Amino acid sequence: MRERLDHVAEALRAVPGRSVTELDPASTPGYTRGKQEGHSTLEAIGGQLSDLQERLFAEGRTGGTRSVLVVLQGLDTAGKGGIARHVLGLVDPQGVALRGFGRPTPEELEHHFLWRIRNALPPAGRIGLFDRSHYEDILVPHASGTADAAELDRRFAEIEAFERDLVANGTTVVKAVLWVSRDEQYTRLHERLERPDKHWKYAPHDVDVRLQRPAYEAAYDEVLARSSYDVAPWYLVPADHKWYARLAVSALLLRALLDLDLTWPQPSFDVATELARLEATR
């Protein structure tokens, strides 16, 4: 299993200088089997994720300081929320924290752009999932032209320092961009307009952003080129096939947890003594 996880991760790792437009959003890098087999693989990954997440949670409850942060970025309809909910379904909810980041609130705008991010970081022993993230503060102004080069440079530098500090203090950072094709995005947006049960997912702004796709492609290219660090690399995940995107992100998370070499915490009490005390209560 570990070899297969490494194969998927290497196939997905972003290559600085390679544009997102060069990716085939309908491809399945590192995985040659089909959808049905993919569901079986995902089920196997889920079992391991559940076990390792519980070990991480137990470690945090007994003084450990490590945590995991999964950052999901992507265009509208790429499946960020669906993947986050899917991963939540594979593990114990008490050990996972999901946070979505939309437009900053008036309160958030009064603070540094990383303020709301810091307030949402996973505590020790937990897995945090960000549906969008601090990278919105580069992507949106980059695509819309509302920040000059100097301001974007400053934000890139602050994000790098922030993420390196996170890793140095025990947080493993897994960053994935989910990339959906223009045609598939149209299909998903159209479905949101056609189906009453999906109207709530649609916003008129979605079409405005869709019209800016070339600008967002350029923004993502710069993010992938300038913020894929050795300690927190980016992974570029084709997202036209939802089953593959879920499999890929779950595999990246499992790989990160395996790298922690998690074990069950040693008890702070003498087991034999406590067994004897318990027997005395029968």
Of all residues in the chain, the percent with pLDDT exceeding 90 is 88
The one-character DSSP state at 121 is: P
Nearest to 227 by CA among 168, 156, 171: 156
Token duo for residue 250: 């779950």
Report the CATH number at residue 22. Answer: 3.40.50.300
| pLDDT of the residue at 4 | 82
pTM for this entry: 0.95
| pLDDT of the residue at 65 | 97
- DSSP output for 220-233: HHHHHHHS--SSS-
29 CB-side CA count, 13 A:
23
Nearest to 248 by CA among 79, 78, 31: 31
Q: Which residues span the domain enclosing 69? A: 2-279
pLDDT, tens digit, 9 for 90 and up, residues 136-165: 999 999 999 999 999 999 999 999 999 999
- DSSP output for 251-281: HHHHHHHHHTT--PPPPSS-HHHHHHHHHTT
Counting Cβ atoms within 10 Å, is residue 43 exposed (0-12), middle (13-18) or buried (19+)?
exposed
Q: Would you say 247 and 49 are in contact if contact means Cβ atoms under 8 Å apart?
A: no
Q: What number is the average pLDDT over the span 215-229?
A: 97
Amino acid letter, residue 205: H
Partners of 128 in the beta sheet? 69, 97
Three-state DSSP class for residue 217? helix
Partners of 127 in the beta sheet? 68, 96
Q: Would you say 95 and 54 are in contact if contact means Cβ atoms under 8 Å apart?
A: yes
pLDDT, tens digit, 9 for 90 and up, residues 179-220: 999 999 999 999 999 999 999 999 999 999 999 999 999 999
Average per-residue pLDDT for the chain: 95
Match 């299993």 to its residue by tokens.
1
| pLDDT of the residue at 1 | 76
Q: Residue 249 — pLDDT band, cuts 50, 70, 90?
A: very high
| pLDDT of the residue at 157 | 98
Q: How many whole angstroms separate alpha carbon 33 and alpha carbon 4?
A: 12
pLDDT, tens digit, 9 for 90 and up, residues 25-34: 999 999 988 8
pLDDT, tens digit, 9 for 90 and up, residues 55-82: 999 999 999 999 999 999 999 999 998 9
Q: How many whole angstroms separate alpha carbon 116 and alpha carbon 109?
A: 9
**What is the number of domains present in the chain?**
1
